[in-house]
Amino acid sequence: MTNLQPVRGTHDLLFDDLRRHRLIEATAFDLAARYGFVEIATPIFEFTDVFARTLGDTSDIVTKEMYTFETKGGESITLRPEGTAGVARAFISGGLAQMTPLKLFYRGPMFRHERPQKGRQRQFQQIGVELLGVASPQGDVEVIALAEHILKDLRLTGVTTLEINSLGDTESRAAYRDALVQFLGARKTALSEESRERLARNPLRILDSKDPGDQAAVKDAPAFTDFLNMASQDFFKTVQDGLAALGIGFKVNPALVRGLDYYCHTAFEFTTEALGAQGTVLAGGRYDGLIQQMGGPPTPGVGWAAGVERLAMLLPELTPAHRPIAVIPISDDEVTAAQSLTHTLRRAGLAADLGYGGNMGKRMKRADKINAIVAVILGADEVREHAVTVRNLDTGDQVKVPEADLVRHLAAYR
């Protein structure tokens, strides 16, 4: 081992950072269950093709951000850069088409080899849902409603905004793409170098470029909404009406384009101003062609994923952790009795802490440091009387309690 630094873009989680993660995951899991979603855990690696084929050959994720390696058997394996492709693969290989509509929730680490910065790491946690086998816009509304519900319970609706757009069906999308390429092709000189590249590869992305020149050029470009065919327009309108009916606020953003190839119809993002360049906190959309494209039965799908680290950075102050009871033997003579007492309290469902050494003063200090709510003190007198001294560490009030009454007495401190 030549150095002890963590691998670039990876982080250890503990204490409040990890509590934030767990709170987010638990909130999302519980609410997803309320909406009828069950958890799926897919492997964190797949054959490289699973991602290469589904995400699109032009996406940056595939072209430069995948952690890919070869096994001893010569197979190409990739650490999952996102969740949907793996779930889609599981849907197909597990024969889950029998069970549609299928509502799946997942959580776990994702891996992308890109330059780390605020809100962006090489290993990061995502939570997400996929609703498979539902073609109706009712599905889009449901998954967005779940997303909003999670953010609301996490008290994040104040710092996030929901933006939605429609990418239309395949036909609408192709027509728009042609029109956009034609329009921007004629103004090539006004575009940034990167956008000139994108014109051939991924022209829709020019719409949300941050380059001022690009933004000016795009200003008078044809609007996506004008190219939506009737079916796509109806679909989009139904989604908007559905959200409005649930009282979910949103903003239509015609420039909203998702990066991955498999999206169609609804695209949405919850964004924030609070995270610098990484404004997207939860994003998703509809992917009706994906499963079939991967070789499965034609199956519509809609879902989203959220970055747990980004949500964690937005989270308000955590409520203090549960306060334990400190058991304090006055001398070494009472340590065994104290350990037994601690065990009894724990068996009774109370969080009890027994330090590992030191005189009474030190043990009291430790009790204070771990934010104990009460100290249960055990000395020679107490042992003789089959009692303990209970000290309220906030008020300093102290009372002697018979051992038999202790658990009942401590219930007041829970």
Name which of residues 156 to 185 contact RNA (CB under 7 A): none
Helix residue ranges per DSSP H, 115-229: 137-153, 170-185, 193-201, 212-219
**Closer to RNA at the Cβ: 97 or 313?**
313
**Closer to RNA at the Cβ: 4 or 245?**
4
Stretch 252-271: interaction string toward RNA, x if CB under 7 A: ------xxx--------x--
**Closer to RNA at the Cβ: 205 or 265?**
205
**Closer to RNA at the Cβ: 97 or 177?**
177
Contact predicate 327/341, CB 8 Å? yes
Q: Binding to RNA by residue 277, rule CB under 7 A? A: yes
DSSP, collapsed to helix, strand or coil, labels residue 78 as: strand
Give the residue, chosen from 157, 278, 293, 344, that forms a contact with RNA under the rule CB under 7 A: 278
Q: Write the single-letter amino acid at 312.
A: A
Q: Binding to RNA by residue 130, rule CB under 7 A? A: no
Least spacing, CB of residue 142 vs RNA, in Å = 19
Pairing of strands 374-378, 352-354: unpaired
**Closer to RNA at the Cβ: 3 or 189?**
3
Q: Write the single-letter amino acid at 66.
A: M
Q: Binding to RNA by residue 212, rule CB under 7 A? A: no
What 8-state DSSP symbol labels residue 412? G
Residues 6+ apart with CB under 8 A from 317: none
Q: Is the peptide bond before 101 cis (omega within 30 degrees of 0)?
A: yes
Q: Binding to RNA by residue 210, rule CB under 7 A? A: yes
Contact predicate 270/160, CB 8 Å? yes
Name which of residues 351 to 390 contact RNA (CB under 7 A): 358-362, 364-365, 367-369, 375, 377, 379-382, 389
Give the residue, chosen from 89, 103, 198, 265, that forms a contact with RNA under the rule CB under 7 A: 198
Least spacing, CB of residue 379 vs RNA, in Å = 3
Give the residue, chosen from 27, 42, 54, 59, that forms a contact with RNA under the rule CB under 7 A: 59
Q: Binding to RNA by residue 282, rule CB under 7 A? A: yes
Least spacing, CB of residue 71 vs RNA, in Å = 23
CA distance to 157, 238, 257, 383, per residue, from 9 (Å):
28, 41, 26, 55
Q: Binding to RNA by residue 120, rule CB under 7 A? A: yes
Q: What whole-number distance in Å separates Cα of residue 114 and Cα of residue 122?
A: 6
The tokens of 256 are what? 């909203």
Residue 33 CB neighbour total at 10 angstroms:
13
CA distance to 216, 220, 388, per residue, from 187 (Å):
11, 11, 84
Q: What whole-number distance in Å separates Cα of residue 143 and Cα of residue 37?
A: 10
Using CB under 7 A, list all residues that contact RNA.
5-6, 8-9, 59-61, 65, 82, 112, 114-121, 124, 126, 194, 198, 202, 205, 209-211, 258-260, 269, 276-283, 305-307, 309-310, 330-331, 358-362, 364-365, 367-369, 375, 377, 379-382, 389, 391, 393-396, 398
